[in-house]
Amino acid sequence: MSRYGLRTRLNGSANANSIGSWFGGKPLESITIDYLVVAGGGGGGSGGNASGGAGAGGLRSTVTATGGGGSLESALSLVTNINYTVTVGAGGTSVASSRGTVGGDSVFSTITSSGGGGGGSNAVGQETGGNGGSGGGGAGGTTPGNAGGTATTNQGKDGGKGLTDNVTYTAGGGGGGANAVGANAAYQVGGNGGAGVAVAISGSSVTYAGGGGGGVNNNNTAGTGGTGGGGNAGNNGTTNGSAGTANTGGGGGGSGGATGGSGGSGIVILRYPDNKTITIGAGLTGTESSASGGYKRATITAGTGNVSWA
C-alpha cells in the first residue's frame, strides 16, 4: 500500500493493530480521545420592530452531557503520529435589516458540530429564525407568530416564536440553547434564550452554547441570553443586541430595531492520557494543560489546522 493510501485509512478509522506498528519512521499506537466540540453561535436578527435571538452553536461531547438531550457521544480511537483536522467555528454576524447569519461549524476528525441559526428579522422573507445547531428565534412584526428555527438532532434545541399583539408592541423569540428551547415571546416581553449544557471535560464544570435573547421595541422587557454565553437583546430602535461570549458558542441577542449581536465563537477541547503530548499545528490557537487526574487537555480556541499526538 502506498504512503498516501495508508494515510487516508488512518485519517478515517484505522487503528494500530490493523496497519502495523510503524509508519514514516515513527511508532504507531492507539489512543482514546474524549472531546467537546462546540460550533459558533448564530448572529442576532436586525432591523424592524423586534428581532429574534440567535441559536447557539451545536454541541457534541463525550463527557458529562451532550447537546439536544441526546446520549453521550462515543470517544474516538485514533492513532499517534498521524494528523487529524480541527476547525473552530466563528460566530455568525448580524446583517442590517436581515436575519442573522449562521455560525461556523466546528470539526474534530470525523466529528462536526453545526453552527447556530440566525435570529429572525422583520425584513420580508427573513421573519423566521434560522436553522442550525440550535435554532434562531422568530421575529415579531406585522405577521404574528413567526416561527423559530429548527435545531440539529442531538446538538441543540429549537428557537422560540415571535409575537405581534399589534404594530405598536412586538417581541422576538429567544434562540435555542444546547439544553433548552428558546422561549416564545410574550406581550411586551422578548423570549429568553435557551440554556446551554454544563460539561466538565476541562476538569471543572463550564456551561456552553446558550441561546440569544429576543428583542422588543418601545423600551419593553428584552429577552436575556441563556446560560452558556448567550447575548442579551436590545429593547428599542437604538439599542443593539449583545454578542454571544467568545469560545462558548453562545447565540447573539436580537435587536429592538437596531443591530443584533454577533454570535460567540466555538471551542474544541480534547482530553487524552497524561503520558501523551499533543502537537497543535499551524493555523490553530490552543494550549495543552499539565497532567491532572490521569489526563491532559488541549483547549483550541480559533483557526483551522491539524493536531497529532506522540
pLDDT for 191: 98
At 213-222, the pLDDT tens digits run 999 988 899 9
Return the beta strands (E) in 177-277 as ranges.
197-199, 206-208, 267-273
Rounded Cα gap, residues 100 and 128, in angstroms:
11
Over the chain, what is the mean pLDDT? 91
Contacts of 166 (CB under 8 A, 6+ apart): none
CA distance 263 to 108: 20
Taking Cα atoms as reference points, which of 259, 267, 265 lies closest to residue 241? Answer: 259
Domain ranges across the chain: 3-36+270-309
The CA distance from 53 to 90, in Å, is 17
How confident is the model over 124-163, as pLDDT tens digits? 899 999 999 999 999 997 667 799 999 999 999 999 999 9
Cα 106 to chain centroid distance, Å, stands at 8
**pTM score, two decimals?**
0.92
Pair 149, 101: CB distance under 8 Å: no
Q: What pLDDT score does 4 carry?
A: 32
For 264-291, b/e burial (b = at least 16 CB within 10 A) is: bbbbbbbbbeeebebebbeebebebeee
Q: Which of 91, 174, 104 is nearest to 136 (CA)?
A: 174
Say whether pLDDT at 23 is over 80. no
